[in-house]
Structure 1
């Protein structure tokens, strides 16, 4: 039983907390202690729960339920040996108590012995008429083992017992999604909705399945039914907006996203989508306004900063684009997309040193796209840093072996440093792998292209 704020049900709790303050020991029956402990555990107040367990056992030393709470705290504190020892004692006293099996399974689960946990929980099924919680626990253990079919079966049994068990419904759909069983999920949800036609969660999930299959017409219909079932269901309006965007019905999408702002606190996702729709409709001023609202609502949402930066980038207003990407980097300096945009914008502004810094940082953060290596290397060539450019391209060729675009660049760089043997090696490799990129030599290294040695190699292989 949970204590209420406005009923006499919370009297034992008030009495208990008063006792702690005065140090006057008062008597509680074991059920009152159980409710007090349960309350504190639900609130995450472990220290108070432990005090209640100690006082409870002082007054009721033979209570199995109070000792089970002690086991629960042991498990929470990862004192698994103590928990197991106490459980064995309790099993000898009350072998038909299902909670003993649940806590035993909890210990196995904590030790990553999930199959043993399942075996114990299955034994507990024979001891109770209330099987929903047990099937839910077994399902979770199967999820730990990546046995999604078996997990799905368990959660389905939960839903058979209780049609309002939305947690089980979400877990069922999670299993379908993981197994890429969109059609099977649709069949299951359709049967479920025949029994429970006003379940907004099921309609919402059905819409998502149709959306994944790109059947936007049926997805839209499912979200309509979700909204009919609950016209305050924010998630349905958001998903409906996404479908309308796919159908290029941007004004209607804006309407749906706007409803979510009225129903609940504004979300950065809705604000961003509204901005994106306005941009598609070429309502530039409104688009920018909503992008501003997005980053104001959630400065850590990278998609907001990326949207506003790309907006100005497309408009060729590179100074503003740079201003916003700098703000984004100041908030999160480890975001690789920010650094890539920073590099590209500086490159367009011909701020070569800043652009090179951006590409270098993007590489350090794991952006190993070919274009990143090539762009950085070409900037280093322009900055007159051939050794750094060579090091960059030699790293690149480890990720893209036999790539002629890299090999021609390395050839030109080695010839420019009078390391002709290496220049010849990479030039011949470049020609072998793709002679069409030979123009790179003339474009990036015009003085090298005029060397007789280079001309002869190129002519020989034409």
Structure 2
């Protein structure tokens, strides 16, 4: 096999050829470093370890190869072995900042974040190139994030960005900290100052727009996203955010235009397709709305917002059969989605498919939706189906979450009377009347046969007299 020595991958190709043939070839330490770095970047840990082993056999005094060895040991959670090597390296080269960086990495992995910060500060002190310390500042910022010390994290991410204004991850982290601290005004002030000296930074304009959006200053948000687009007219995120602002301003045609730009620039996203559908719905263009809702669920069948949008679209138009078709498909795709089951139950109830509705409400409760209406709707359907004991059990469970609730108590009173459990019926009916006498109509609505029963009439009339 012939290799071109001009080929920058030549050492890597030569190394892999050596592994296949078991020949021992010589590489200088820089070549080994590049080979190991390549394998680590690509997650090929086993090959990186082989390269380190062979590298150290040929260059046993190489500090950098030893540091790669430490990196592997950290990945394998072998912290004490990594520490031993770092201590040895520190004795040889006490002013090597990379040794401190790796030491900090070992400490961080063991949740010793304060010690990691102190170690990184030493690395900064001994740094031979203070102007290139942006990575060290970023590492300290991350350690403060691990400690939930957002104010300190901001300080170091700002130092990082001062050293390297193109470090957009530091910019994102600064805004993240401000967001966590609910300091939108401070974030806006910082971003505006940053933009004074970096006026064409599309990421900063985008972040500024998001801050204005959060505080509902939609005019300024719109202007910020415009500047982001001027700075980079292929910036998909800026068009998306501008579309959201225009929706808030009820400028739906313009919002659609911005969302459609993203479809042309990149692969269509289900989010953009969904928002276009909503905009067309707001404009009363139902055919276009349905078309884009359908595109949304076709593009991403796992996006629950798409299925919910098209289901609710038909529900609003009282077309429950079509709504049921879509929500049934959604349930088949994701049977663990509580929002799907709630809609499934509601639609079946509207269509008077009571058994299916009851299944829907039961599943909704099983999945942890304990809203009062869910318990009550299921109870009422069980009553309509004549499943009185199941309805009682359902309401007793509901009462654990909503004790002393009159709507639950009236139903329990009616159910106990219906099932000839008079003592329990009296207790719950009296309790219900005590809690809220105005809800007494529930008895006549759900249990019309009880209204003329002497005991029930007497309890209700006695309560009404006492309240007059």
TM range (shorter): over 0.9
Superposed counterparts of 1:90-109, under 5 Å: 90-109=89-108
Cα deviation 1:148-197 (Å, max 9, x = unaligned)? 00001110000111111101000000000000001110000000000000
Partner secondary structure for residue 9 of structure 2:
helix
Q: For the residues of structure 2 that align with 1:199 and 1:127, how far apart are their CA atoms?
A: 32
Alignment counterpart, residue 448 of structure 2, candidates 435, 446, 449: 446
CA apart distance, 1:304: 0.6
Q: For the residues of structure 1 that align with 2:337 and 2:126, how far apart are their CA atoms?
A: 53
Give the corresponding residue for 2:147: 145
CA apart distance, 1:97: 1.5
Q: For the residues of structure 1 that align with 2:430 and 2:290, how far apart are their CA atoms?
A: 51
Cα deviation 1:78-128 (Å, max 9, x = unaligned)? 122221222222222222121221122112211122112112111111121
CA apart distance, 1:7: 6.4
Give the corresponding residue for 1:251: 253
Give the corresponding residue for 1:22: 21
Give the corresponding residue for 2:345: 343
CA apart distance, 1:227: 0.5
Q: For the residues of structure 1 that align with 2:188 and 2:300, how far apart are their CA atoms?
A: 35
| Structure 2 CA distance for partners of 1:191 and 1:449, relative to 1, 3 Å | same
Partner secondary structure for residue 8 of structure 2:
helix
Q: For the residues of structure 2 that align with 1:301 and 1:6, how far apart are their CA atoms?
A: 51
1:457 correspondence with 2:459: yes
Give the corresponding residue for 1:286: 288
Q: For the residues of structure 2 that align with 1:89 and 1:423, how far apart are their CA atoms?
A: 81
Cα deviation 1:353-375 (Å, max 9, x = unaligned)? 11011111111111111110000
Moved runs in structure 1, 4+ residues, more than 4 A?
none
Q: For the residues of structure 2 that align with 1:41 and 1:370, how far apart are their CA atoms?
A: 54
Give the corresponding residue for 2:72: 73
| Structure 2 CA distance for partners of 1:347 and 1:6, relative to 1, 3 Å | farther
- Gaps of at least 5 residues in structure 1 are none
Give the corresponding residue for 2:437: 435
| Structure 2 CA distance for partners of 1:222 and 1:66, relative to 1, 3 Å | same
Q: For the residues of structure 2 that align with 1:436 and 1:85, how far apart are their CA atoms?
A: 77
Superposed counterparts of 1:83-162, under 5 Å: 83-128=82-127, 129=129, 130-162=132-164
Partner secondary structure for residue 9 of structure 1:
coil
CA apart distance, 1:6: 12
Which segment is superposed worse, 163-172 or 445-454? 445-454
Q: For the residues of structure 2 that align with 1:92 and 1:390, how far apart are their CA atoms?
A: 76
Partner secondary structure for residue 461 of structure 1:
helix
Which segment is superposed worse, 443-452 or 148-157? 443-452
- Gaps of at least 5 residues in structure 2 are none
Q: For the residues of structure 1 that align with 2:355 and 2:270, how far apart are their CA atoms?
A: 34
Cα deviation 1:272-309 (Å, max 9, x = unaligned)? 00011011111111111111111111111111111111
Count of aligned residue pairs for this structure pair: 458
Q: For the residues of structure 1 that align with 2:378 and 2:402, how far apart are their CA atoms?
A: 15
Give the corresponding residue for 1:176: 178
Give the corresponding residue for 2:277: 275
Partner secondary structure for residue 411 of structure 1:
helix
Q: For the residues of structure 2 that align with 1:137 and 1:446, how far apart are their CA atoms?
A: 71
RMSD: 1.3
Which segment is superposed worse, 109-118 or 368-377? 109-118
Superposed counterparts of 1:170-209, under 5 Å: 170-209=172-211
Partner secondary structure for residue 8 of structure 1:
coil
Give the corresponding residue for 1:235: 237
Give the corresponding residue for 2:217: 215
Alignment counterpart, residue 362 of structure 1, candidates 351, 361, 364: 364
* Structure-2-length-normalised TM-score: 0.96
Q: For the residues of structure 1 that align with 2:425 and 2:114, how far apart are their CA atoms?
A: 62
Give the corresponding residue for 2:314: 312
CA apart distance, 1:77: 1.3
CA apart distance, 1:8: 2.8
Cα deviation 1:247-277 (Å, max 9, x = unaligned)? 1110000000000000111100000000110
Superposed counterparts of 1:328-339, under 5 Å: 328-339=330-341
CA apart distance, 1:376: 0.4
Cα deviation 1:20-51 (Å, max 9, x = unaligned)? 12211111111110111011111111111111
